[in-house]
Structure 1
């Protein structure tokens, strides 16, 4: 009888090939428009596990791929099933539980994660669930119980909840995907009008991190303390938008919070301390060998430091790699870096298949994989040359991923990293960690080390601010097609091959679909209208062959959400907009004009037209009769005229856009009175193929005579999901449908792009053009 095959024959069960196919399987399932049935996933899991475990030929990696598909599908289905049911949306629920991770205190609100207790006193569909909540200030009494929201504290309160749902626009960020990866079951806010009770104060590792962060603030002068907190604890709550813009422009976001490299430093330091202790006391080696002690100390140090960092993905990846090396050392087996990386990827995906939804997963493993692949080329060269080579490998190898994941490339990043990696990682971070360790031993011992870390950090930060201030520091890239990433990865692989490999100039051409994608711009006499999904507000982009205009900039509220910063500017970058040739602010209400300041900071807005009572400085009134023509497209204001009084909504700028291939009407927030006035004045001027419903489709707009005068084939409404105004009103939607128009709503469809081109109009709905499996689950839940 033949025995089992030796370990050296066939495909290794935990090698690089198996890990790669497992990753591809998980990724493939994450890109499906809908989840397969559970029984199919269960069959795939069983068949894949059998092939992975029992076979040694090509069926082993194929089995791992099946396991990846099944694991992701089952995990995603389970997480989605635990989200708040559609029938319970906007309900008030009395819950008790504890605050997890670090709450983010803002001027008027605190955002925090809340784990609901699992006992029978909680609503059945919320037991044990993770909620993302906000607690706003009580403006009437001035009380701020939210300031007592400490990590680990326990509370009882009433929360108004809704199912996880985000905005869907062109660009890389998808909040629904991030909430799925984070297992968020519902979002909402605390109802301060209802009773609330604090049952217990700060506790746990997060409570300790919060207290250490407060001591850093007390020991280190502002503004440096916020960076020491980030480097010592992974606490980035104090960093503002300007800080993040500087870090993105210089490619340093991977260093400012605790990274995997920092975990490796701590693991190595603890290993050296343990080995030194055994060297000083050689008698200890009779009981436990020194190499095993050093390896175990490295693992304990890595786990402890990862806990200090809140178990962020890069730290977890490094802990897994350290664990693989430690186990191999304890079993006296040699494990290479590539094998450790493969084992870490397998362990992480088996534990959490949804981790592929996070950008950190790809950057962490891809960065190490590129360096491992190129390591034989640099290990025999001098230290400085090797460091420069590693920097070149990381920059070129990760460029395709950063472009796809973040829509940007830092041209100043290679130079900034040459300074930051050795200075921060070998000087600033060790000092910050030393202060944290001393503070853990005794209160006030950490202050000197923290202040020295801040001083060293301050020596380098002006250089990075100067690099970030250059116009060419950060290169925003338009959204590319699906094939651009694999082509760019092939190009990077080709360019990093050893010297003498032919065709490297041709390899650089493979980056073109990624770096200069086709933006599908209109031709002469054509134009596009893109209504962005900004929630309860309005922002519309109009593009001709060579000009771009923005009509309104979305909402901004004092509590923190700014659609100009979070939605409009990223969408403009994703669409390849470098500057605006003109901006129209229909009126001064915050849901239309709130985001303008953020857009103005990021773009040249061109001449600004606005209602006279909008409060926009240096703007030109949008008076009826004003017109201009570019690229064969005519823009004309229909309202208000010079005699119309300032009445906010009613004095909104009404803009008509016309070309030989179609026309569009953007009506702002006017109501029925102004609509009827326009019908009486010049009904022919209202005739349009596309109409943006006035006032988000409210019941006080879309007068029947106005609807008939437009003769629209498509009517759009920009409204927030589940908004408290009920926009767009069902009666208004029926009115437009009865008038012969198809209707679309951003709350349902996401951003809506209408291309008025030769041969007719084309409509693209963001959620339909890029379907996600969580959309399918939500649609079925809504149908029930």
Structure 2
């Protein structure tokens, strides 16, 4: 536990320890460990010394591993340059709307690049550029011309840390395959254990796709067999999250244990009936060894996730103890699994699955030990489900801002069917490709989903709230552990008391007369949240990344839910360009929205969804919320006519609070800027300006910059975007005005308060720095 705590402290650090600090901590840890080894006394002193030693060793070990991984970096001067590489396709190739994505292990290159990179091979960026791609398969060796960039992701409050995830995966650069005649397959297969495993996984996935081409749950069977969850539609993930059964479609410990138990039982039965075998090696030891190796094979086939690893290491510990004829204490088994996982992967502590996986097993040990009597199967199952539901509730609220109210019932239905019917049938089809197995597995899961979907549609199926402070979550965890102790523990009900502030907690909102503003980091696009004392507005919704992924679903909705926004009063969609309207449909279907103001064409899906709530933007429209004034300055008049350039009718919004002004300009260009100056140049004067059209050369004229006279200029741009925004001359023009310069690709989401005091915008990267950011 102390070793894990030391690793966690290092991973949450702003900077890595220096070599001197790491060496000193390691020396202290080893010295204390040696002292404890020779210390005859036991008790508090010994435990304290062990804790300090473990934490010091964990802290230094995590720092050392991080330095090694970060050293494998792409030189900054190679970003955006074409490089020729030769290497192996090291993962399952993943289809997406306009191409393929895969992990590539570099063997040779024309310039120094990281060993492990993530590549996308596009069919074309525009419809008129689409072309076919060659077939690629895991384990092949290719020579490719690639264009790379250092790990970079969007950084928003409560958002997914893509850079941290890449670091955990060992991926130290991302990029794309360039169209080049030199791109060619060098070898059809490169021998190697993991290459063989990935090729096998790909073959099984292809087999499922061929057997169930149009089946709605084929992706679930693929996930259960080979751990590839990307084929599961987003709509299904919502159902799983609402009902609390997401763990069942991942390769969970339950599945690994089930496979191990089946193999152990089979080998044990055969061994006992063969006297020659039983006399040479006890049947029990042979059975657990067979179960361990079966679990190892399944874990490799399933993608080697943390829950699967944890279960494998626990099974290995049990198998070793039985082989050595030693007692196995549950706590020690779990501790060994924890240590092995963190030694192999010290970044595992950054994954939500790590906490939920080890937490669930620890809770099961807690409620199944230290009791005088043995529960029956039904009572034991109910006790276990109650323990996991209650004990993981604080973690679920902290990590995901929701928990499933119907989870106990949904799991009672789904666990037996998925674990003991669907998964064995899916694995049977993976080993013996008989169509019968695939059809039976799909039919069984379809039957499972009938009651699960009904539960998901209940209006109270899931509890959602703002992300609570970690202190409240820790207190609630301690309370839940107390409440789950055996009968006879005094005042167990007191443990439920800390849940009350956790469930009722809500973040503070701005005071009347002030507005809190977040210019979100959505890549090459725009999305701004303006919050007053009692109202919320979203100005644009960022881009759609593909047919089934957009910034509304991936960035805006998680952010709004995490800060406690359950309803939007106004959604402004300035015009129909993808980088501004791509997430509008997701926002409209994901949250209640009072009204929609836009310059979208009449047939746009967002206007169709909005229906009577839709109000076309027009200059002069305005409203007051809690002492904050909102005024639309552009376009001059509302119209359903679609101009040649939709940027010309983009909505422009002015927000004034406490005498300070924010100007949201969307994608207006020089023509619209001139029109705004002609109508009312004084209305453009602002303390903060979100720069027009991401700083393109067609906007931000000298006259417009002079009219706005901002204290701060914010550029919403994507990292190394293909439009090369912001334009160098435009950047210089704004800088010459004396404005402070901020950009979302460098700083993440830009956050500030608009009120009587001068606004002081800060980037999310500066507010929550991590040692891997920018590296």
TM-score of the two chains, using structure 2 as the length reference: 0.92
Matched-pair contact (CA < 8 Å) for 2:657–2:756: no
Look up the match of 2:85. 95
CA distance in 1, matches of 2:27, 2:176: 42
Look up the match of 2:202. 210
CA distance in 2, matches of 1:53, 1:435: 53
Look up the match of 2:687. 689
Q: CA deviation at 1:316?
A: 1.2
For the aligned residue pairs, the C-alpha RMSD in angstroms reads: 2.3
Q: CA deviation at 1:126?
A: 2.6
CA distance in 1, matches of 2:28, 2:225: 46
Matched-pair contact (CA < 8 Å) for 2:398–2:470: no
Counterpart mapping for 1:412-561 below 5 A: 412-437=406-431, 439=432, 444=433, 446-499=434-487, 501=489, 507-512=495-500, 514-558=502-546, 561=549
Q: CA deviation at 1:89?
A: 1.0
Q: 1:383 to 1:551 in 2, by over 3 A?
A: same
Look up the match of 1:367. 360
Look up the match of 2:764. 766
Look up the match of 1:38. 19
- Deviation per CA, 1:33-76, whole angstroms, max 9, x where unpaired? 01111232133223323433552423233211111101111111
Are residue 237 (structure 1) and residue 223 (structure 2) matched? no
Matched-pair contact (CA < 8 Å) for 2:526–2:540: yes
Matched-pair contact (CA < 8 Å) for 1:554–1:563: yes
Look up the match of 2:678. 680
Q: 1:592 to 1:497 in 2, by over 3 A?
A: same
Please say which of residues 53-62 and 282-291 is displaced more in the overlay: 53-62
SS at match of 1:401: helix
Counterpart mapping for 1:296-307 below 5 A: 296-307=289-300
SS at match of 1:155: strand
SS at match of 1:36: coil
Look up the match of 1:15. none
Are residue 620 (structure 1) and residue 594 (structure 2) matched? no
Are residue 341 (structure 1) and residue 334 (structure 2) matched? yes
Look up the match of 1:62. 52
CA distance in 2, matches of 1:704, 1:503: 71
Q: CA deviation at 1:123?
A: 4.1
CA distance in 2, matches of 1:568, 1:643: 27
Matched-pair contact (CA < 8 Å) for 1:216–1:447: no
Are residue 572 (structure 1) and residue 566 (structure 2) matched? no
- Deviation per CA, 1:445-496, whole angstroms, max 9, x where unpaired? x322232222211111122122222333233332333323322212222322
CA distance in 2, matches of 1:643, 1:478: 37
Are residue 175 (structure 1) and residue 175 (structure 2) matched? no
From 564, 571, 585, the counterpart of 2:573? 585
CA distance in 2, matches of 1:559, 1:432: 28
Matched-pair contact (CA < 8 Å) for 2:596–2:615: yes
Q: 1:389 to 1:174 in 2, by over 3 A?
A: same
CA distance in 2, matches of 1:269, 1:474: 35
Please say which of residues 597-606 and 544-553 is displaced more in the overlay: 597-606
Please say which of residues 734-743 and 339-348 is displaced more in the overlay: 734-743
Q: 1:395 to 1:661 in 2, by over 3 A?
A: farther
Look up the match of 1:782. none
CA distance in 1, matches of 2:426, 2:65: 38
Q: 1:753 to 1:310 in 2, by over 3 A?
A: same
Q: 1:476 to 1:744 in 2, by over 3 A?
A: farther
Look up the match of 1:649. 647
- Deviation per CA, 1:470-526, whole angstroms, max 9, x where unpaired? 333233332333323322212222322344655556543423554344422112222
SS at match of 1:425: helix
- Deviation per CA, 1:706-756, whole angstroms, max 9, x where unpaired? 233333222211111122333223443443344343221111111112212
Matched-pair contact (CA < 8 Å) for 1:53–1:60: no
Matched-pair contact (CA < 8 Å) for 2:618–2:638: no
Matched-pair contact (CA < 8 Å) for 2:366–2:485: no
Q: 1:175 to 1:621 in 2, by over 3 A?
A: same
SS at match of 1:133: strand
Structure 2 gap ranges (5+):
38-45, 190-194
Counterpart mapping for 1:367-406 below 5 A: 367-376=360-369, 380-406=374-400
Q: CA deviation at 1:681?
A: 2.1
CA distance in 2, matches of 1:223, 1:276: 38
Look up the match of 2:43. none
SS at match of 1:743: strand
Counterpart mapping for 1:709-724 below 5 A: 709-724=707-722
Q: 1:262 to 1:125 in 2, by over 3 A?
A: same
Look up the match of 2:219. 226
Matched-pair contact (CA < 8 Å) for 1:588–1:615: no
CA distance in 2, matches of 1:219, 1:600: 37
Look up the match of 1:161. 148
Please say which of residues 191-200 and 359-368 is displaced more in the overlay: 191-200
Q: 1:72 to 1:123 in 2, by over 3 A?
A: farther
Look up the match of 1:7. none
CA distance in 1, matches of 2:247, 2:546: 30
Q: 1:333 to 1:359 in 2, by over 3 A?
A: same
From 317, 320, 323, the counterpart of 1:330? 323
SS at match of 1:169: coil
CA distance in 1, matches of 2:591, 2:93: 32
SS at match of 1:462: helix
CA distance in 2, matches of 1:340, 1:595: 46
Matched-pair contact (CA < 8 Å) for 2:32–2:53: yes
Matched-pair contact (CA < 8 Å) for 1:537–1:718: yes
Q: CA deviation at 1:393?
A: 0.6
Q: 1:390 to 1:142 in 2, by over 3 A?
A: same
Q: CA deviation at 1:766?
A: 0.8
Q: 1:591 to 1:142 in 2, by over 3 A?
A: closer
From 586, 602, 614, the counterpart of 2:590? 602
CA distance in 1, matches of 2:92, 2:270: 36
Q: CA deviation at 1:124?
A: 5.5
Look up the match of 1:48. 29
Matched-pair contact (CA < 8 Å) for 2:367–2:486: no
SS at match of 1:284: helix
CA distance in 1, matches of 2:586, 2:175: 25
Look up the match of 1:14. none
SS at match of 2:91: strand
CA distance in 1, matches of 2:497, 2:354: 27
CA distance in 2, matches of 1:737, 1:140: 38
Are residue 132 (structure 1) and residue 118 (structure 2) matched? yes
CA distance in 2, matches of 1:38, 1:632: 54
Matched-pair contact (CA < 8 Å) for 1:554–1:593: yes
Q: CA deviation at 1:380?
A: 1.3
Please say which of residues 133-142 and 454-463 is displaced more in the overlay: 133-142
SS at match of 2:662: strand
From 621, 625, 632, the counterpart of 1:630? 625
TM-score of the two chains, using structure 1 as the length reference: 0.91
Q: CA deviation at 1:242?
A: 0.6
Look up the match of 2:306. 313
Please say which of residues 663-672 and 723-732 is displaced more in the overlay: 723-732
SS at match of 2:112: helix
Are residue 74 (structure 1) and residue 64 (structure 2) matched? yes
From 258, 279, 286, the counterpart of 2:279? 286
SS at match of 2:754: strand
SS at match of 1:607: strand
CA distance in 2, matches of 1:500, 1:707: 73
Q: CA deviation at 1:21?
A: 0.3
CA distance in 2, matches of 1:141, 1:370: 55
Q: CA deviation at 1:369?
A: 0.9
Aligned residues: 747
Matched-pair contact (CA < 8 Å) for 1:536–1:720: yes
CA distance in 1, matches of 2:562, 2:485: 31
